[in-house]
Amino acid sequence: MCGIVGYIGHRESSPFLLEGLRRLEYRGYDSAGIAVLGQNGLKICKTAGRIQGLVDKLIDTPLAGTVGIGHTRWATHGQATEVNAHPHHDGGSRIAVVHNGVIENYQSIKTTLEGKGRRFYSATDSEVLAQLIGYELESVEPSADDPYRHLVTAVKAALDQVRGTYGLAVVFRDYPDVLIAARLGSPLVVGIGTGENFLASDASPLVGHTDRIVYLADHQIAVVTADRLDVSHREAGQVHWNAEAMPINAADSGLSGFDHYMLQEIYEQPTSLENAMRGRLSEEHATAVFGGLNLTPRQMRGVNRLVLTACGTSWHAALVGEYLIEELAGIPVEVEYASELRYRNPPLDPETLLFAITQSGETADTLAALREMKRKGHHTLAICNVVGSSIAQEADGGIYLHAGPEVGVASTKAYTSQCVVLAMLALYFGRLRHMSFDAGLRIIESLQALPAQLEKTLEVNDRVKKVAERYAHCNNFLYMGRQFNFPTALEGALKLKEISYIHAEGYPAAEMKHGPIALVDEHTPSVFIMPHGKVYDKVMANLEEVKARGGPVIVVACEGDTDAARLADEVIYTPHVEEFLQPIISVAPLQLLAYHIAVLRGCDVDKPRNLAKSVTVE
């Protein structure tokens, strides 16, 4: 979603702001801007479109000053135009504000302020915050013993009136030695330097500038100067903060010779699987070991139902988890869209455990669903990739993926890491219950072999590229699989939709006869995920039904599958793995297929239109 950066110190702020905004591009955006405080007062420069457009404008009209804030916007209220881009001012250019989140009651506040003579310039909800803070600032007097108290008072008075979520940064024309930040439901991180301090919506812009960071919590307000950080809670008062070490995986290693981050991250998957499993498989006890669950084995043994909640790709991983845990551990599992669970009232007994699955740890719906389950007294755990994220902090415990930064908007390595963590959870729960030592040891051996098998799978890249060249012109695709590979069909279709803008749908293969077969024609390829397993013959029958109706067929099959080669138009071979691990192997060719089709169609692979990496608004 939107990104925030801020700087206060002894250096020119614009270079850091622009560098930081570039590092936040992966979050998705449609406009960008900065505000800088200097000898010429408060100056704002912003533009619709890419950050390079902002850079080009600043060549002609550079902004000088050692205090500044910047923003990349993903439009919610108002179109993606320059006037709607952040930063916003209060009408008199006394303050500038950047804001992540949504102000739900902005219209009523706007109407009230307009009635008091204030003029609005944009169609955004965020401008209301700038105008409201400016209005409140007019009615508070500076304090002789605290030069910034009245600024905090004005910000707090404004925030007390708004309903919604915010990550907020404010600079003041008449106070060029301070910036104020506040958070509720949208992340903010303060970087601690020497004679300078930094602000960002995640740690990535701070890499190389500081190794000490402070995660702001909900309802906290930070007063940041060049050599000081003061944090207070809106109601509880002053807060003692502790700086944490910069997470190693916050660093962005660059493209490393790849054309796109997505392709690089597809090829990083063998390593990310190793990282997810490192130190978590015990051959001595034939089980998985997790250090952060914060529940005893006895408590985990008492769990009689799991709810896995997520959105998008993470929801597909949750479906894989449902098959894995029910098959290997015999525990009933429900998979819920977080956007639905947050508003539902499902009857769940006290022994139900929630797992919130998220790459970013900031997904608004998943966070809201987790909070609702906590409110009802259920234990909540997270499977997450970002240390210090909102969900990681609010869950009772959890498991980090250790997949490293995922810059491409379309998730790849985080998905397979989520799947392998869920496989280890299935092993863990299975060994707590009925699974024998020998069975647990066989699963561990299969898991340990996965990285090398995925490395071998990626050798199909050239083959997949040729398939992509043949079908890149098609505007509709069907994806089909069964059992463990039904979620793979959903994920393959989603990848194609996300980055190539082709309509694609995933189905359980047997459901094709119940409607989707009407879509089959010579212009609609059907992708079958059908490695060997107990339902192989059933899926083969579905494949033949498509062929009988003239539909092109692409098959992802196990090495040596001559039956698939005889019937399909194109076959992509993968190594043999145990059925329960097939989703982790079978998805890689589908990721590559989506990638190559998107490139051939001239799409922006890493920053697809209308999408954001982390959906932090409802």
Residues known to be catalytic: 2, 613
Residue type, 346: P
Assign 244 to helix, strand or coil. Answer: strand
Task: Name the phi and psi angles at 172, rounded to 5.
Answer: -125, 125
* Cα-based torsion angle of the residue sequence 219, 220, 223, 224 in order, rounded to the nearest 10 degrees: -120
Burial class of residue 220 (count of CB atoms within 10 Å of its CB; 0-12, 13-18, 19+): buried
- Check whether the bond before 332 is cis (ω within 30° of 0): no
Number of alpha carbons in the 13 Å side-chain half-sphere of residue 401: 33
Task: Count CB atoms within 10 A of the CB of residue 297.
Answer: 12
Chain centre to alpha carbon of residue 373? 21
State how beta strands 352-358 and 305-310 pair. Answer: parallel
Instruction: Kindly give the residue spans of alpha helices, DSSP state H, lying in 507-561.
Output: 536-548
Task: Name the phi and psi angles at 314, rounded to 5.
Answer: -65, -30
- According to DSSP, the residues that pair with 508 across neighbouring strands are 481
Structure token digits, residue 474: 């098609």
Nearest 5 degrees, angle CA 262-CA 266-CA 270? 150
- According to DSSP, the residues that pair with 309 across neighbouring strands are 336, 356
State how beta strands 3-8 and 31-38 pair. Answer: unpaired
- According to DSSP, the residues that pair with 70 across neighbouring strands are 5, 34
DSSP 8-state secondary structure symbol assigned to residue 250: G
* Cα-based torsion angle of the residue sequence 139, 145, 147, 150 in order, rounded to the nearest 10 degrees: -20
Place of tokens 């299969």: 446
Are 96 and 87 in contact by the 8 Å Cβ rule? The answer is: yes
